[in-house]
Structure 1
């Protein structure tokens, strides 16, 4: 009981101190606590490269792995992580629910997931998946949104599919390979590895603009930790710029995220990752509108309910002093 009371007193004291710092404008000046960043691991991203490079000045970034974006958003809402690198749809859907999240840098404007099946499968096109099981990382995540788009493009009733959540990496590959699903949504570097093995082939690949990866944080947290968040997003932009002038060094860092990939394959995956990022990590309202249009098209967002571009993104930290 004594320990419980002591911890409670310390927690209350800490909360009071945080409130006082915020009121005096000092909370945003401290980077000592660092930033806990949620990432759907198993892929290669500018954010993971930045964390691995460790070039964020005084700011310390800790990567927290999740199997899906929906799980990460729950953690962000609950406060167990400070930021999340995920799809723009999470901003839109959660702002509609009055959660004060915004995007502070866009690291990819191209959807990452492709629909893959085994080379021996009788499924030859997306239309053949009607009524069958299809694996996504988790229902409600970007991979699921892409599946809805693939189904709509090919005249397949999405509601008639048996959608299963399989996570990422080895579990996703095993689900497709062992027949747990007729096809699955897979992103790089696993996508390249699976196809190069000769045991899998791509059924569908996205060909549209979309806010696929953006640094998401609560506005309230961002206001209190402005310098920390600015250091993180600027660090990602610095990684983007360094890769353009010193690709070889960046590729060496990338090996930590894809140790089993050949150098040739890794270089290709890294090049694709860099190509998918918008210049300066900033998108315009047109890309955002494309994202909103897709969500409305697949029935995830009701027309007229999506927040404005200005309410959804704040890129000022990328250019702050």
Structure 2
């Protein structure tokens, strides 16, 4: 079974406290980060934390766990967290609420979910699930937006022709699929890698994992960036430094994934590490193509929203030396 996300986050909180306790005394800016979904895209964040690179930038990073992107972005909007580790979908939604947000740094080049069902389920594609319950992580999340977009491309209504049910992520989503509480559920790529190691147990009904998309990023409100320019720049710089180190040292990536997922076998940890490094955007840069796909999917779920440009969505200046 996948280790509880809260236990994994607690382990890194304690590790970060140990680094701070042994390091030189220096003024640190506390930055609270909300984690919408624990997955391999967080690898550079935890690497920067483990290596003390946030501390070097004068940042004390505290992580808080959330059950999906919806609750995490509510915390961001309310000011209880400074950075949201979540899908960039929320840049559009927050701008519509007159709370403009930006991507500080991209963490994944592609969409990070696939629709998974038990291997013996009769569903071959999304249309076969008409009238069935589909598991999403939470309302308003990347999984919610994505499945609504796909349903609409079939000419169907996501609220009338399907039942979308918040099932959480990780072990909770897997349990919903296993118990038939959902006909299929949207699972994140790290969990899929673990689930697929059980031969003949699961199958992919619809795969989004090669679609260019800013599915995981560090988001912050523009107001926070303007009030904390040094912390915002230092945060982006520390994560970018970790991305570069992981790209150059596969063994570092494997070791960090093993820390993030202590129940993973060495073989699975190596597989996930390779995937995480390969999927990470070079230097944390977000592309125009991914923002185009972002606009298509998010606006399909709510046509009252307005598209964003790359310049509005991503503050590339933070990554410049």
* TM-score in terms of structure 2 length: 0.84
- CA distance, structure 1, for counterparts of residue 150 and residue 258 of structure 2: 31
- Residue 235 of structure 1 corresponds to 238
Report the Cα distance in structure 1 between the residues aligned to 2:28 and 2:109, rounded to whole angstroms: 32
8 Å CA contact 1:150–1:204 kept in 2: the answer is no
**Gaps in structure 2 of 5+ consecutive residues:** 1-25
Pair 1:276 & 2:276 matched: no
**Mapped partners of 1:150, 1:171: distance in 2:** 23
Q: Are residues 1:145 and 2:151 paired?
A: no
Check conservation: 2:106, 2:214, Cα contact below 8 A.
yes
Unaligned runs of 5+ in 1: 1-29
1:213 matches 2:216: yes
Computing the radius of gyration from Cα coordinates, the structure with the larger value is 1
What secondary structure is seen at the aligned counterpart in 2 of 1:60?
A: strand
The 1:265/1:36 distance shift into structure 2, 3 A limit, reads same
- What CA RMSD, in Å, does the superposition of the two structures yield over aligned residues? 2.0
Assess if the C-alpha contact under 8 Å between 1:96 and 1:307 holds in 2: no
Counterpart among 279, 300, 309 of residue 302 in structure 2: 300
Q: How many residues align?
A: 289
Q: Quote the residue 2:36 is aligned against.
A: 40
**2:189 match: secondary structure:** coil
User: Where does residue 171 of structure 1 map in the other structure?
Assistant: 172
2:48 to 50, 72, 81: 50
Alpha-carbon deviation of 1:152? 4.0
Report the CA distance shift for 1:273/1:163 in structure 2 as closer, same or farther (over 3 A): same
Q: Give the conservation status (yes or no) of the 8 Å contact 2:134–2:182.
A: yes
Which segment is superposed worse, 115-124 or 82-91?
A: 115-124
Which deviations, in whole Å up to 9, do the C-alpha atoms of 1:183-239 show, x marking residues without a partner?
A: 000013211111111321111111422121221111121122211122211111111
TM-score between both structures, scaled by the size of structure 1: 0.84
Deviations 1:161-193 (A, max 9, x none): 111101111111111100110000001321111
Alignment of 1:118-129 (within 5 A): 118-129=118-129
Change (3 A) 1:257 1:284: same
Hey, which bits of structure 1, 4+ residues long, moved more than 6 A?
Answer: none
Q: Distance in 2 between matches of 1:293 and 1:188?
A: 22
After superposition, the Cα gap between the structure-2 partners of 1:136 and 1:87, relative to the gap in structure 1 and judged at 3 Å, is: same
